[in-house]
Chain A
């Protein structure tokens, strides 16, 4: 059973388009992180959200944590080829140990 479901699994778009990636669960998380992973490398932390309803912006990336802290979204405006990569969401379970639960990821390709 996958605790965190990410969608879509694959996304191929043209440069300049907007996109949204979703991360959903039936469990409540104390925090949720988004990472980006390049082939052959480790995940790089993009953002952490901890408060229900929280919205964080990182240049063209907007992250939102659901009010009930069960889901999150990542929106990219005017995507660029440099945004290509695997985007992973990971959550710390409410009342659980410090381990992170990961989604399987969204593989994004931005074509020039």
Chain B
């Protein structure tokens, strides 16, 4: 029973390039969440998605950031025209439906470095 899979584990981009982070939830989970962790900071919520729907994007910057969770395939967090301040660890979590939907299981993260 595979856990939450994120790739790549490490991503290096130059300023102005695009970053695409992928997340496959645990089998049977239909809720996906993205969080960002800056050095010495706690995890900050970015966006919550279900299949083909964005449920809550209150933590995601309005500019340059977007997220999707298509009917088929992984969830994608896309950062356009990256800047040095985007350097962080990005974590994806998934949860099942029903009364346990706020019990979230995390992937190993993608560490984005912007040069």
Q: A residues bordering B, Cβ < 8 Å?
A: 2, 4, 30-31, 33, 35, 40-45, 48, 88, 90, 92, 97-105
Per DSSP, chain B at the interface is strand
Q: Which of A35, A42, A88 contacts B109 (CB 8 A)?
A: A42
CA distance A102 to B36 in the complex (A): 11
**CB-defined contacts of B43 to chain A, threshold 8 Å:** 43, 88, 90, 100, 102
CA distance A30 to B41 in the complex (A): 23
Cβ of A99 and Cβ of B105 under 8 Å apart? no
Cβ of A105 and Cβ of B42 under 8 Å apart? yes
CA distance A41 to B4 in the complex (A): 12
Name the residue among A41, A43, A104 with the largest chain B CB count within 10 angstroms. A43
In chain B, positions 38-60 with a C-beta closer than 8 Å to chain A are 40-45, 48, 55-56, 58-59
Q: Which of B42, B48, B111 contacts A99 (CB 8 A)?
A: B48
